[in-house]
Amino acid sequence: MRILTVHADFIEFEPLKKAGKFAEEITPGKRRFEECLVVFMAVEKGDEQIEASAKLGADEIVKVCEQVKTKAIVLYPLVHLTSNPSSIDVAQKVLFETQKILAHAGYKTEHAPFGWYKSYDLKCKGHPLSELSRELHASGKEEAKTGEKGKETTEKTEKIIVSESLKKESEMKSKFYVLTPSGELVEQEKFKYGDHKDLKKFVDYEVKKVRSYSSEPPHIKLMKEHSLLDYEPGSDSGNFRWYPKGRLMKKLLENAITNMCISYGAVEVETPIMYDYQHPALKKYLNRFPARQYVVESDDKNFFLRFSACFGQFLIAHDAVISYKILPLKMFELTKYSFRREQSGELAGLKRLRAFTMPDMHTLCSSVDSAKTEFESQFKKSMEWMDMVQLTYEAGFRVQRSFFDENRKWYESLVKKLGKPIMLELFEERYAYFITKFEFNYVDNLDKASALSTVQIDVENSETFDINYVNDTGSKVRPTILHASFSGSIERVIYALLEKEAMKIKQGKKAMFPVWLSPTQIRIIPISDAHTDKCLGLAAELGKFRCRVDVDDRQETLQKRIRDAELEWIPFTAVVGDREAESGKLAVTIRSTGEKKQFSVEELSKLVEKENAGKPFEPLSLPQKLSKRPII
């Protein structure tokens, strides 16, 4: 496919004469569209995979829309862009499918009549990105030329590998149900959701599969306002820069999930981020994992950036001598980073990005029955994690129908442990390596769902990677493998936390992070400069305990400094004047309740230590005095 995009003040066209019997039926007359991206497109031989070609084209069009800041698109079929056109039928289907995908992604999309000779008048905006051309191939090769009108400024070739599993997933036919704690299995459209509103939103999201947002998710505004992180303009889309406060929160979550996995019995490893695409086991696995990959060329070889820790851990397991006596064997890695070449139109802040930190654990089990036992145990650990980060969630199970039929009572017992209905997706044919998995999904303010915790039973990769254990008779046996992430990506946890607080703000409630994750837990504000030294002394005393304390010594009014502490969601704010300096008691505002109470240093530190109990701790990541901090 070839496309030429023009960011236009307007385009006006008029169909004049049918080019053949294949011309679509239309209402005659001129049509005009303003402030839009006009996409001249020619479908070529090799674009016969209608859905794949349309998705590739739509993905590129969305990328341009994001660059030029428009949500209005006019698709204009123009066969003269190519000397190698597809059949008329294929061209028409790709055009209509592209429009459908863009409309579902929230773009106002129209198309010029197919199969007509047309006159048109167009005014190009004339900025450096106003005219861009692309040559797209379903194999993943994209040739791009960008620049000002009449000037070719750059050329690039980008390779994107789309796995066979991802293609099969898009074609897969499955059936959605709701399974209740009492064991009732109901078709999703017939279930009476009642108070289970988030479950309804989750099911709708999965059934309709509309991943793109029509407006900006509120967590993006909050992550910027709190100086946690931001987009990195010097990198690819979906990559972020983390500022000190955000890095502190991220580090605490990384430490928390690492501690949980190691205390659960996992051995920690570290593996490369890049692998040989031609490695026989890896290539086979790539086509069984539903993801798009980045591909890097080096020394005439293709390498892909990992999208999980599976590759490295499976290669370690292949080389290891494993006895049945040490099973189940758990291997863990916190990947920094994993990479997935998500489609541009689906990128949305921290919900869906291209480089992410994934806690990834794999468990080698002696059999499917042993794997079921571990699956249930890890289901409970995932519940523990979600409770620790104080997030609500909806559960979804995805199961091959034959496996569900054989193990229905087991699934019912899991739902009973959860204590609420779950979404159940049943598929007849496996499109990937797993026979079953569960996900805990957070439903956000715009009714989109994001998977956090997940565990899967893998029945393929011990064969693919030639992984064995030695049983009690000395024979080599293939293990059954579990893939698990109790938390999901760290970035998504922060997304969910921010979305949760955005909902509170919407409801008129006070937002705040869990105290153990708050970058500053206690802020001390001197009434005047004369009290600053006293405040620094108090901060030093509190700092001896597990507390993050800072002092707002800026040359601002007291009211503004108190207001700034509120805007930063500081859990405990203490104002210190003559009375507090003399009495040794701090006048503390507690954000969670709005109460104002008197505390000694020891009493306040115990309050914070109680919130930190059982969780990792990190010291303040910025200068203690606010006057010494850069403005980010």
pLDDT band with cut points at 50, 70 and 90 for residue 140? very low
Looking at residue 606, which CATH number applies to its domain?
Answer: 3.40.50.800
Looking at residue 63, which CATH number applies to its domain?
Answer: 3.50.80.10
pLDDT per residue as tens digits for the range 482-511? 999 999 999 999 999 999 999 999 999 999
- Residue 110: closest CA among 31, 212, 56: 31
- Which range has the worst mean pLDDT, 37-41, 60-64, 274-278, 586-590? 274-278
pLDDT band with cut points at 50, 70 and 90 for residue 320? very high
Q: Does one domain contain both 123 and 186?
A: no
Q: Does one domain contain both 259 and 317?
A: yes
Q: Does one domain contain both 261 and 174?
A: yes
Q: What is the average per-residue pLDDT within 8-33?
A: 90
pLDDT per residue as tens digits for the range 34-81? 999 999 999 998 899 999 999 999 999 999 999 889 999 999 999 888
Asked if residue 163 is part of any domain, the answer here is no
Asked if residue 66 is part of any domain, the answer here is yes
- Point out which residues pair with 461 in neighbouring strands: none
As a whole number of Å, the CA-based R_g of the chain is 28
Percentage of residues in the chain having pLDDT higher than 90: 76
Give yes or no for a cis peptide into 181 (omega within 30° of 0). no
pLDDT at 6 over 60: yes
| Confidence at residue 288, expressed as pLDDT on a 0 to 100 scale | 63
Q: Does one domain contain both 90 and 116?
A: yes
pLDDT at 284 over 80: no
Asked if residue 216 is part of any domain, the answer here is yes
Could you give the residue ranges of the DSSP H alpha helices within 41-109?
50-68, 88-104
pLDDT band with cut points at 50, 70 and 90 for residue 148? very low
Looking at residue 381, which CATH number applies to its domain?
Answer: 3.30.930.10
Q: Look over the chain and give the mean of its residue pLDDT values, rounded to a whole number.
A: 91
Q: What is the average per-residue pLDDT within 72-94?
A: 92
What's the domain count of the chain?
3
Q: Does one domain contain both 484 and 609?
A: no
Q: What is the average per-residue pLDDT within 304-329?
A: 95
Q: Does one domain contain both 185 and 125?
A: no
| Confidence at residue 172, expressed as pLDDT on a 0 to 100 scale | 58
Asked if residue 508 is part of any domain, the answer here is no
pLDDT band with cut points at 50, 70 and 90 for residue 289? low
Give the range of the structural domain holding residue 35, as residue numbers without chain letter. Answer: 2-156
pLDDT at 127 over 80: no
Asked if residue 543 is part of any domain, the answer here is yes
The tokens for 241 are: 């820069």
Q: Does one domain contain both 472 and 539?
A: no
The tokens for 348 are: 């949305």
pLDDT at 551 over 70: yes
pLDDT per residue as tens digits for the range 509-534? 999 999 999 999 999 999 999 999 99
Q: Does one domain contain both 286 and 370?
A: yes
User: Is 559 buried (19+), middle (13-18) or exposed (0-12) by CB count in 10 A?
Assistant: exposed
pLDDT at 154 over 80: no
Q: What is the average per-residue pLDDT within 335-360?
A: 89
Domain final residue pick, 449, 467, 498: 498
- Residue 493: closest CA among 266, 146, 250, 300: 250
Q: Does one domain contain both 428 and 544?
A: no
Q: Does one domain contain both 466 and 565?
A: no
Asked if residue 507 is part of any domain, the answer here is no
- Point out which residues pair with 399 in neighbouring strands: 426, 436
